[in-house]
A and B are shown apart, each in its own frame.
Chain A
Amino acid sequence: MQKPSNRRTFLATTAALAATIVVRPTMLHAQDDSLAALVRAYANGAPIREGRVKLDIAPLVDNGNSVPIEVVVQSPMTARDYVAGIVVFNEKNPQREVAEFVLTPMSGRARVAARIRLAMTQKIVAVARMSDGSCWTHTVEVLVTLAACIED
């Protein structure tokens, strides 16, 4: 039998770990009906474009009860040009909404972080609405596994 090479062992280990959690940027497809509808409602008629918003979720998560997320939007945050709001939706929790954030020029920087709950593998969407009404979005897929030793 062939002895496994070091590279193969390394890749096998990382692949096993990678199988646990993978974060893949994805497009919001037409079939995610309720999610797309909510995003459109938030956008209030404005076109929804990808970009300017970055939804950062830790690639490897220990527990779905506490998933750190960070949303950063490129914006000068002046009185004439600022991020007015950021909304975060999920795909498969009992409810779609995660949080709605309101920002003002007083915020200074469009960066928000929180810890959220994810019931299972699903997509998370962040939408940023600018002071001029334009909307920008970023969608990320997160794999979530259940804990091994639960209490009940």
Chain B
Amino acid sequence: MARTLITVPTAAGEGEIIEVRALIQHPMETGYRRSGDGDMLARDLIRRFSCRFVAAGKAGEGELVFAATLHAAIAANPSLLFHARATASGTFVFSWTGDNGFAQTERSALSVR
């Protein structure tokens, strides 16, 4: 489980556009670096990030708010900033997937007045 730091309000007015920042601890090894011994360090990247919103009382995986496909040019410990429109109360679902079976999901509840 990688450490994550998600900054998102837990409450918002209806229609308000909120700012979301998702930070995750990950080396984002490019596959182009060599170790001190001269061996190639194997590529190990987070490939995809998505933020979906599941409205309260609704089933399913929710609506897509934002998604990103990341490449080796994304800095280590990737940080993504994006926005979301608060329409109804529910839960944000943040998901990261990547090489070597990396998969992590975090959630954050949002209450909309």
| Range for the number of chain A residues in contact with chain B | 20 to 34
Binds B, one of A28-36, A41-49, A113-121: A113-121
- Contact in complex: A108, B81 (CB < 8 Å): no
Which chain A residues lie closer than 8 Å to B17 at the CB level?
108-109
- Given A116-B75, A117-B74, the answer on whether A102 and B83 have CB atoms closer than 8 Å is no
Which residues of chain B are within 8 angstroms of A112 by Cβ–Cβ distance? 66, 68, 80-82
**Is there a chain B Cβ closer than 8 Å to A100's Cβ?**
yes
Stretch of A2-10, A12-20, A90-98, A136-144 at the chain-chain interface: A90-98
Q: Mark A56-90, 1 if CB is under 8 A from B, else 0.
A: 00000000011100100000010000000000001
Give the complex CA separation of A111 and B71 in angstroms: 19
Contact of A102 (CB < 8 Å), options: B67, B74, B81, B85: B67
**Which single residue of chain A is at the shortest CB-CB distance from B32?**
A94
Q: A105-B85, A106-B64, A152-B36 are in contact. Are A98 and B80 (CB under 8 A)?
A: no
Decide if B67 touches A101 in the complex (CB within 8 Å).
yes
A99 touches B36 (CB 8 A): no
Known A94-B32, A115-B79, A152-B36; contact A106-B74, beta-carbon cutoff 8 A: no
Residues of A within 8 A of B76 (CB): 65-66
| A contact residues around B18 at 8 Å (CB) | 108
Residues of A within 8 A of B73 (CB): 90, 93, 95, 97-99, 116-118
The chain A residue sitting closest to B63, CB to CB, is A106
Judge whether B5 is part of the interface by a CB distance below 8 angstroms.
no
| Contact string against A for B residues 83-107, beta-carbon threshold 8 Å, 1 for contact and 0 otherwise | 1110100000000000000000000
Instruction: Decide if B68 touches A99 in the complex (CB within 8 Å).
Output: yes
Beyond A90-B73, A95-B72, A100-B69, 14 additional contacts (C-beta under 8 Å) are A66-B76, A93-B72, A94-B30, A97-B71, A106-B63, A106-B85, A107-B82, A109-B83, A112-B82, A113-B79, A114-B75, A117-B30, A117-B75, A152-B36
